[in-house]
Amino acid sequence: MSPASQSKPLTLALSKGRIFDETMPLLAAAGVQVSENPETSRKLILPTSNPDLQLIIVRASDVPTYVQYGAADFGIAGKDVLNEHTAQELGGLYQPIDLNIAQCRLCVAVREGFDYEAAVHQGSRLRIATKYVQAAREHFARKGVYVDIIKLYGSMELAPLVGLADAIVDLVSTGNTLKANHLVAVEDVAYISSRLIINQASLKTRGQRLQPFIDAFARASTT
């Protein structure tokens, strides 16, 4: 590794919103403050109070990609996002800690009044709309239920209301979004929280500089 890249600050990839917000206390536990808020700043590279650490702000589903290619040394990503990346894409990633932040459940949800159990038992093909194609496919395969999966990129809650799908597989935290759209959760697919992910080459070449952050995150996430 060249001296220039050795002296480059460590780069942590985060998405704005709940992951950024819930990572701030973990950074504080490592003695790091971030003065700019990505909700109001347009900057995608944010300095921190530690000259050896900068943040990059990317889409939640892009965090593993930045870390896989070493554009970020480490990052924080939801298990929902990690589950949708292929084993090959996750190959260069080390996943040492569950940070227990941004917790939610991945659920199957249907319109109020839709008889999900009956639909499942009739053996008819269910239409499932979701952003989480892999997780949904595996869930219904385990149950032995035939499904047609329709990939969406957002606003999954709409699909059962307008006849696009019988059910959705989506993340639920407070349940308010389901309720507002007259949907109910009928099955849990997975418990979701966010993990620290680290580029394996960075861990080898910059491990001494990364370790204090890994240790502080591990301590703060279990207390």
Selected from 173, 182, 188, 207, the binder of ligand PRT by CB under 6 A is 173
Nearest-CB residue for ligand PRT: 78
Relative to beta strand 45-47, strand 167-172 is unpaired
Q: At what angle do helices 18-29 and 200-222 cross, to 10 degrees?
A: 80
**Between the CA atoms of 133, 171, 103 and 81, what dihedral angle is there, to the nearest 10 degrees?**
20
Q: Stretches 35-43, 87-95, 175-183, 212-220: which one binds ligand PRT (CB under 6 A)?
A: 175-183
Confirm or reject binding of residue 214 to ligand PRT (CB under 6 A): no
In the complex with ligand PRT, the residue whose CB is nearer, 23 or 194, is 194
- Least distance between ligand PRT and beta carbon 96 (Å): 18
Selected from 32, 67, 72, 81, the binder of ligand PRT by CB under 6 A is 81
Q: Which of 94, 103, 45 is nearest to 211 (CA)?
A: 94
Confirm or reject binding of residue 76 to ligand PRT (CB under 6 A): no
Confirm or reject binding of residue 92 to ligand PRT (CB under 6 A): no
Confirm or reject binding of residue 80 to ligand PRT (CB under 6 A): yes
Contact 75, 64 (CB under 8 A): yes
Sheet holding 147-151, edge to edge: 45-47, 53-57, 10-14, 74-78, 183-199, 93-111, 167-172, 126-130, 147-151
In the complex with ligand PRT, the residue whose CB is nearer, 74 or 206, is 74
Q: Stretches 58-66, 83-91, 108-116, 183-191: which one binds ligand PRT (CB under 6 A)?
A: 58-66
Confirm or reject binding of residue 100 to ligand PRT (CB under 6 A): no
Q: Is residue 176 helix, strand or coil?
A: helix
From CA 52, how far away is CA 212, in angstroms rounded? Answer: 12
